Amino acid sequence: MNNKKEISSDNKLVLPGDKIAVIEEFVPDETCFEKNGEIYSRVIGHILTDRKKHKISVIPKKQHHSIKNGAIGLGRVEFAKKQIASVNIFHLNHEEIPIPVSAVLHVSEASRRFVKSMYEVARPGDWVRFRIIREKKPIYISFIGDGLGVVTAYCIQCGHELNYKRPNLLECPNCDLIQARITSKNYGKPFR
C-alpha cells in the first residue's frame, strides 16, 4: 500500500496555511509551498500523497458554486492600468474560492457615470465587490450595481488603510492624502 497514491486516511480538510508535511518526506507541488523545511497548503482541500515519488499535493475542494453571470463576489486588485484592472476573485456568493480566479474590470464597467481612467477607480491591493458579467474566460466583472465598488483601499503614498470621506473619495488617516476610488456604499464592510 505504501507505494500508491493515497488520500490522507482521515480525509481531513486542510485550509490555506495549514502545515501538511515536512520537506524530508515530500516534494510539494503548486498546491502547496515550503517554508523553513515545512510544507503548507495553499488551498482548501484534501491531501494527496504519492509515497513512491515522494510527492504531496492538495486536491482542491470541489467548487459547488460555479462562476455564473450575475454572481456577486469579493476580490483583490492585482494590477491597474489606464483602461483595465485585473482582480483576483476570492469569494463568490459568500463562498470562498479554493484557488483564486483572475477577472478583468474595464473602466467602462466601473461606474454609471463616465470615468476617465482606472486610476480613479481602484488600485492594486484594494478589495472590491463586483458582479460577474462574463462567466467564460477571460472573466469580466462590473462595479455597476447596488453595493458594488471598492470596499477596502490602501493609500498610494504610505500604504495605510483609507477612511471614507464621501462617495468616491477616500482619505488617508496617516499621511492625509485624499484620493479617488469608485467606492461601494458599504465601504469599510467588505463582507456585507
Minimum CB–partner distance for residue 96 and Zn ion (Å): 30
- Which of 85, 155, 170, 182 binds Zn ion (CB under 5 A)? It is 155
- How far apart are CB 159 and Zn ion at their closest, in Å? 7
Q: Which is nearer to Zn ion, 59 or 175 (CB)?
A: 175
Q: Distance between the two ends of the chain, CA-based, in angstroms?
A: 48
Is 160 a binder of Zn ion (CB under 5 A)? yes
Q: Which of 81, 158, 167, 191 binds Zn ion (CB under 5 A)?
A: 158
- Residues in CB range of 12: below 8 A, 6 or more apart: 46, 47
154: which DSSP letter? B
Question: How many positions of this chain bind Zn ion (CB under 5 A)?
Answer: 8
Cβ atoms within 10 Å, residue 17: 10
Q: Which is nearer to Zn ion, 117 or 157 (CB)?
A: 157
Burial of 53 (C-beta count, 10 Å sphere; 0-12/13-18/19+): exposed
| 153 closest CA partner among 143, 144, 141, 162 | 162
175 near Zn ion, rule: CB under 5 A: yes
Q: Which stretch binds Zn ion (CB under 5 A): 67-75, 109-117, 166-174, 184-192?
A: 166-174
Which residue stretch of 7-15, 58-66, 133-141, 149-157 sits at the interface with Zn ion (rule: CB under 5 A)? Answer: 149-157
Query: Which CB, 43 or 172, lies closer to Zn ion?
Result: 172
Residue whose C-alpha is closest to residue 110's, from 128, 137, 88: 128
Q: How far is the CB of 163 from Zn ion (least distance, A)?
A: 10
Give the span between the Cα atoms of 128 and 90, in whole angstroms. 10
Binding residues for Zn ion (CB under 5 A): 155, 157-158, 160, 172, 174-175, 177
